[in-house]
Amino acid sequence: MSTSSENGVVYSRLIAKEGDESIYELFIGPQHPSSGHMRFIVRLEGDIIVSVDPDIGYVHRTMEKLAEGREVIKAIPLLERMTIIDSHNVTLGLVLALEKLLDVEAPPRAQYLRVLLSEINRISSHLYGLGIAGIMLNHSTMFMWAFGDREVWIQLAEDLTGARLTHTYSVPGGVRRDMPQAFPERAEKAIRYMERRLKDYMEIFLDNPQVRSRYEGVGVLKKSEASRLGIVGPNLRASGVKYDARLAEGYAAYPDLEFEIPMREDGDCLARMQVRVEEIRQSMSLIRQVIKKLPQGPIFAEKYTRLLPPAIRQQVAQTGQVKFPGIFASLKLPEGDAVSRVEMGHGEIFYHVTGAGSTKPYRLRVVTPSFRNVILFRYLMPGHRFMDFPAIYGSLDYFPPEGDR
Amino acid sequence: MSGGEKVKVLEETFTRLGVQVSVLDRRVRVIALPESLRKVAEEALSLGFDHLVSIEGIDWPQNNTIEVVYHAESYNDDLRSLLLEIRVRVPRDNPRLESLIDVWPNAILLERETWEMLGVVFEGNPDLRHLLLPPWWSEIPPLRKDYKVQEEGIYVDLE
Amino acid sequence: MSEPIESFGKHLKAIKTGLKYLISPNRITVYYPEEYIELPTGYRGLIRYYPEKCIQCSLCAMICPAGAMKMYRTREDKKGRPGVNYQRCIFCGFCVDICPQNALEMTKVHDVAFKQLEEMIFTPEKFSQEPVSPVVAEGAKKLKTVIDEERGLRHEPA
Amino acid sequence: MRVMNIEGIITWLLKIVLSPQVFAPIVFPGLLTALMVLLIIIWAERKIAARVQMRVGPLYVTRRLGGVLQMLADGARYMFQEFIIPDSADKTPFVVAPVMALTLAIVPFAFIPSAPGFVPIKSQYSLPAVLALISTIPLSVMLMGWASNNKFAIQGAVREAFMGLAYEAVVFLSALAMGLLYGTLDLEEAVTKQWLPGLLLNPIAAFTFFVGMVMSAGKLPFDIVEGEQEIVAGPYVEYSGIIFGIGMGLAYLKLYSLTLIYSILFLSGWNPVITPLYSIYPGLAGIFLFIKSFLLMLFIVFLRAVYGRYRLDQALRAGWRVYLPLSLIAVLLSIFLRVVNIV
């Protein structure tokens, strides 16, 4: 097998090495302060990591098998449990694929509301990532600040959808709740507060010389390697690849909103964290644009509101809370399959839904960003010191329940 | 080269390889045979699809085959809105395929998952062991249709 | 430690930021049992069932993703009435949204505790009583959350 | 046999207790205040970190005082918790090591003067004696790590050895610089010689001693020995119950004795002596020494809310490449100041 790296990837680092007696084997096990719900078999030579074998699957809930055994609409709250900190982005991919299969189109106002909740979730997912990266360096202030300020965005999501984390907001045909009256002004205040707080984050965490010395030049992922290993999300954009599923797919209302893709060239831990902070700023500007440009009109597809009795249709228009038609309990998926890609906080999620004419999907394939980033643990770690392990782990923003599905 | 011509170029190169090509909404679907899989993969790599998004197995017990679906993607600007889908059918009782690790390095984990979930053996994959399931998993691969999951009704009868 | 002077300046800036918040902390703690937060309208809490509106169409039991809503049938009434099992319920609100008669409604109660697991299974009779939050019953102070530019989340007496 | 009446015995006892040899090490800057400082400092650390981090910190133990007795509750919990000795561990050193570490952390109070003329053991080598005792504590921590026969504990013990190398030389050299400056190695004389606080006389030594102190106490940003995120709790991973409590309190006791040394050498010790108090009882006159070291500890503990953790090799590199040369410069500066006989 070629170990040359002409196509950019060093193959020898892809295979976990067996230990001989000079190798010190440490199990950073599922029960460990900084391992999350997974285990790493770390092989050390002195202080230098020889190889890391990520052993995932401790939170594997067989989502794909469960989705095959239930009606289609039930797959949405099921698959939301893969990443509840970014729950709208994780189910949006499935809803888009189902809309292609059921050939229904969400009205423009629903498209904008989807972007609104997606960006709120992206900010709270990035804050979660910043907090975990902070506590991995034992910087408890960054952890508490990130999780404290995340409450502001969770509060906004709660006003919009009625649930803090697991909103189940998008369904095939549109969204379930309209934007409340007081929402725009509260969102504006949250954005101004967050802009001020990001400056404090930079001063106490990212520009703190102690954190800089832990992050700079550590876990460098070269541009060619990132693209060849199929890395996604901020980890990819920090290595200089300008790719974002929102540009590639142009779903929801993203084509008619302007946003740039923050990027870095050097691909080390610091670049990844800086990309996440800048993406928070981008998401806030997107929220401002959505609130300004939000079109009037229905939030649920005409094809389904037509089936509601007139009294309920009147009530929906008045309360802004959508009611489902009876057939939602047993939507029939036609023959054929559909594919969708959505940009989550952690990266690009991929759905492939195959229907076979029954109410249950024949096969539902989902590849989450964390599953695509797992290979980085094995690829990036060799050659670093043992104390770089939590720094790299924190900067990758890996989320075990999402990686295991 | 705009998206349209790009798709045409893809179509010609693959039809020259003697595989069935069809274009759906922004997806180039290639139905390949197990023998021509490596040729198609190397061709796709040279065209710019330099990494895999997913390797998926679909179990069709009716016609006794397992269909392995590769989705390849590219990050450069002209190809990024396109997805290359390669479908290969292998017999259900002895599903064997050639491992594509040296074409697409990130297949190393995806192949492990498909082997574990559907029993498709990828020859040449150096460490084909359990990834998500516990190491002592001995039942049939769970994503096969004959691995039944217990269903539940909606009625509960009181006294 | 390259360019020590500049990094020393940054050390001081980090300590200054810490001191700034030491002097004027922006705490977001709510002392829960003594105070509780008044939740926004449309909050998805425990469900309330109105038996008189229900037409026993069992759509809610069919759509429930977690299999929490079941139709409890007795010998005399074959169609059955819905009852929820809060061990499984995920508060997604699908049942409320599909009910054609608005016989199900979500309250703002979310902090009910149960001593035994069996208590969490609500038969139709128990399901039709209004759930009561223990904190409100004890008369805790009601607060409402305000998002404020300076301090982020602030809680004012509602 | 002279019959000692009751008052005789009481006055005799009182004389013993109030004598410097007993009062200083046991009561004032010594054991009792050390334990009381231990409780207050850990509580203050959690409260300060909580204030910076948008939360409240310990509260429910004594609600009106803001949970100040929280540490007492924790201490009692450790006291009554059964400590488990793993059978794979080496039993006797496993239990003896933390106790030895605690004694080594408390013995330095025998040399620390708390007021002019009020020192338990009067000797002109009290400074090197204290520092020598404090530098033996890492040995017992290594023994703890080695005896618990656990992979993470051994990693922790090796880290303790490495860190010991990083800061020991720096602390000794900066203390030597001050000894040279004052022309004496006796702590009490050092204070009398400071017509200007040592900090202003030799700021470089003050800075290097401060950093060396933070490193040796294992406080952030040099919290490397107990790196939770890498090696769970370092040498203390197999410990539970009171020997774990001792292990945890050890770092703070070491910090307390080092801050006392720091305020004696650099912040002119107990200098503004309150003469009326001195005439009543010399032991308490040194209250300023305690206040200065307490404030210094509060600042060091506040650093926890500002910093993460350095890598082991970065701490070593800083120790050897930055602070050791700095402390050598400090020695040269003291020699120069001595020649100019500024003191």
User: Which CATH number fits the domain that encloses residue B53?
Assistant: 3.30.460.80
Contact between chains at A168 and C92 (C-beta distance less than 8 A): yes
A222: nearest Cα among A239, A234, A237:
A239
Please name the member of B71, B73, B106 whose beta carbon is closest to the beta carbon of A375.
B106
Helix, strand, coil percentages (3-state) for chain D, rounded to 5, are 70, 0, 30
Please name the member of B152, B155, B159 whose beta carbon is closest to the beta carbon of C80.
B155
- Structure confidence by residue, pLDDT tens digits, B29-61: 999 999 889 999 998 999 889 999 999 999 999
Portion 7-66 of C in contact with D at CB < 8 A: 14-15, 17-19, 21-22, 25-29
A246 vs A33 pLDDT, higher one: A246
Q: Where are the domains of chain A?
A: 85-333
Residues from chain B that touch C87, judged by Cβ atoms under 8 A, are: none
Q: Which two tokens stand for residue A20?
A: 């001989």
Q: What is the CB neighbour count within 10 angstroms for residue A25?
A: 13
Q: Which two tokens stand for residue D69?
A: 């007795």
Q: Show which subunits contact C, needing at least 3 CB pairs below 8 angstroms.
A: A, B, D
Q: What is the CB neighbour count within 10 angstroms for residue A11?
A: 17
Name the average pLDDT for chain B.
Answer: 89
Helix, strand, coil percentages (3-state) for chain B, rounded to 5, are 25, 30, 45
* Closest residue in chain C to residue D308, using alpha carbons only: C14
CB pairs under 8 A between B and C: 28
Mutation test of the interface with chain A: which of B22, B50, B59, B112, choosing the one with the most A Cβ atoms within 10 A? B50
A277-306 residues labelled b (16+ CB within 10 A) or e (exposed) = bbbbebbbebbebbbeebeeebbbbeebbe
A100 touches chain B (CB under 8 A): yes
- State the architecture of A85-333 in CATH terms: Orthogonal Bundle (1.10)
DSSP reduced 3-state for D195: coil
Q: What is the nearest CA distance from B33 to chain C, expressed in angstroms? A: 39
Domain range enclosing B36? 3-123
Please name the member of A149, A189, A315 whose beta carbon is closest to the beta carbon of C148.
A189
Q: Which two tokens stand for residue B23?
A: 């274009």
C91 touches chain A (CB under 8 A): yes
pLDDT at residue C2, rounded to an integer: 57
Q: Is there contact between D and B if contact means ≥3 C-beta pairs under 8 Å?
A: no
Contact between chains at C149 and A309 (C-beta distance less than 8 A): no
Burial class (CB in 10 A: 0-12, 13-18, 19+), A374: buried
Cα separation, A246 vs B25, whole angstroms: 17
- For residue B37, being part of any structural domain is answered with yes
Contact between chains at A387 and D312 (C-beta distance less than 8 A): yes
Burial class (CB in 10 A: 0-12, 13-18, 19+), A224: middle
Residues from chain A that touch B147, judged by Cβ atoms under 8 A, are: 65
D257: nearest Cα among D53, D112, D95:
D112
DSSP reduced 3-state for B32: strand
C7 touches chain A (CB under 8 A): yes
A389 touches chain D (CB under 8 A): yes
Contact between chains at A210 and D54 (C-beta distance less than 8 A): no
Q: Which two tokens stand for residue D221?
A: 């940003």
Concatenate the DSSP letters of all residues of A158-180 into one string: HHHHS-SS----EETTEESBPPP
Residues from chain A that touch B133, judged by Cβ atoms under 8 A, are: 57, 60
| Alpha-carbon distances, residue A81 vs A76, A86, A403 (angstroms) | 9, 10, 12
Q: Show which subunits contact A, needing at least 3 CB pairs below 8 angstroms.
A: B, C, D
Residues in chain D: 343
Q: Give this complex's ipTM.
A: 0.92
pLDDT at residue D71, rounded to an integer: 86
Cα separation, A193 vs A127, whole angstroms: 14
What would the mean pLDDT of C109-128 be, rounded to a whole number? 91
Query: Which residues are CB-contacts of C9 (< 8 A; sequence separation ≥ 6)?
Result: none
Portion 20-79 of C in contact with A at CB < 8 A: 21, 28, 39-44, 57, 59, 62-66
Residues from chain A that touch B50, judged by Cβ atoms under 8 A, are: 7, 227-228
Fill in the amino acid letter for B79: L
- Structure confidence by residue, pLDDT tens digits, A101-152: 999 999 999 999 999 999 999 999 999 999 999 999 999 999 999 999 999 9
pLDDT at residue D277, rounded to an integer: 78
* pLDDT at residue A213 is higher than 50: yes
Helices (H) and strands (E) in chain D, counts: 18, 0
Q: Which two tokens stand for residue B111?
A: 């192949």
Residues from chain D that touch A208, judged by Cβ atoms under 8 A, are: 306-308
pLDDT at residue A6, rounded to an integer: 46
Fill in the amino acid letter for C59: L
pLDDT at residue A5, rounded to an integer: 45
Q: What is the nearest CA distance from C74 to chain B, expressed in angstroms? A: 5
- Expressed in angstroms, the distance from the first to the final Cα of chain C is 53
B154 touches chain C (CB under 8 A): yes
Contact between chains at B143 and A228 (C-beta distance less than 8 A): no
Q: How confident is the model at residue A173 (pLDDT cuts 50, 70, 90)?
A: very high
Q: Which two tokens stand for residue D217?
A: 């106490």
pLDDT at residue A31, rounded to an integer: 84
A134 touches chain D (CB under 8 A): yes
- For residue B49, being part of any structural domain is answered with yes
Angle between helical axes of D137-147 and D91-106 (0-180°, round to 10): 160
Helix, strand, coil percentages (3-state) for chain A, rounded to 5, are 50, 10, 35
A356 touches chain B (CB under 8 A): no
Q: What is the CB neighbour count within 10 angstroms for residue B48?
A: 18
B83: nearest Cα among B17, B7, B14:
B7
C81 touches chain B (CB under 8 A): no
C157 touches chain A (CB under 8 A): no
pLDDT at residue A16, rounded to an integer: 67
D284 touches chain C (CB under 8 A): no
* pLDDT at residue A3 is higher than 50: no
Residues in chain A: 405
**β-bridge mates for residue B52, sequence order:** B72
Name the average pLDDT for chain C.
Answer: 90
D56 touches chain A (CB under 8 A): no
Cα separation, A192 vs D339, whole angstroms: 60
Q: What is the nearest CA distance from A200 to chain C, expressed in angstroms? A: 7
CB A230 within 8 A of CB B106: yes
Q: How confident is the model at residue B18 (pLDDT cuts 50, 70, 90)?
A: confident
Contact between chains at C74 and B159 (C-beta distance less than 8 A): yes
pLDDT at residue B1, rounded to an integer: 53
CB A42 within 8 A of CB A23: no
Contact between chains at A197 and C152 (C-beta distance less than 8 A): yes
Q: What is the DSSP letter of D3?
A: P
| Alpha-carbon distances, residue D312 vs A302, A394, D98, D326 (angstroms) | 63, 18, 24, 20
pLDDT at residue D47, rounded to an integer: 92
Contact between chains at A385 and D229 (C-beta distance less than 8 A): no
B152 touches chain C (CB under 8 A): yes
Residue entry with tokens 């470089």: D204
D220 touches chain A (CB under 8 A): yes
What would the mean pLDDT of C15-26 be, rounded to a whole number? 91
Q: What is the DSSP letter of C70?
A: E
Q: What is the nearest CA distance from A314 to chain B, expressed in angstroms? A: 31
- Structure confidence by residue, pLDDT tens digits, A286-341: 999 999 999 999 999 999 999 999 999 999 999 989 999 999 999 999 999 999 99
CB A238 within 8 A of CB A272: yes
* pLDDT at residue C4 is higher than 80: no
Q: What is the CB neighbour count within 10 angstroms for residue C34?
A: 11
B108 touches chain A (CB under 8 A): yes
Q: Which two tokens stand for residue A282?
A: 């981008």
pLDDT at residue A17, rounded to an integer: 67
CB D193 within 8 A of CB D265: no
- For residue B137, being part of any structural domain is answered with no
DSSP reduced 3-state for D174: helix
Q: What is the nearest CA distance from C150 to chain A, expressed in angstroms? A: 6
Burial class (CB in 10 A: 0-12, 13-18, 19+), A318: exposed
- For residue B50, being part of any structural domain is answered with yes
- Which helix (H) or strand (E) element contains residue B73? strand B65-73
- For residue B44, being part of any structural domain is answered with yes
- For residue B144, being part of any structural domain is answered with no
What would the mean pLDDT of A82-101 be, rounded to a whole number? 94
A376 vs D226 pLDDT, higher one: A376
Q: How confident is the model at residue A1 (pLDDT cuts 50, 70, 90)?
A: very low
Residues from chain B that touch A11, judged by Cβ atoms under 8 A, are: 101-102, 105
**β-bridge mates for residue C73, sequence order:** B157
Residues in chain C: 158
- Which helix (H) or strand (E) element contains residue B89? strand B83-91
What are the residue ranges in chain D where pLDDT is below 70?
1-4, 343
Cα separation, A173 vs B111, whole angstroms: 35
A197 vs A12 pLDDT, higher one: A197
Contact between chains at C98 and A312 (C-beta distance less than 8 A): no
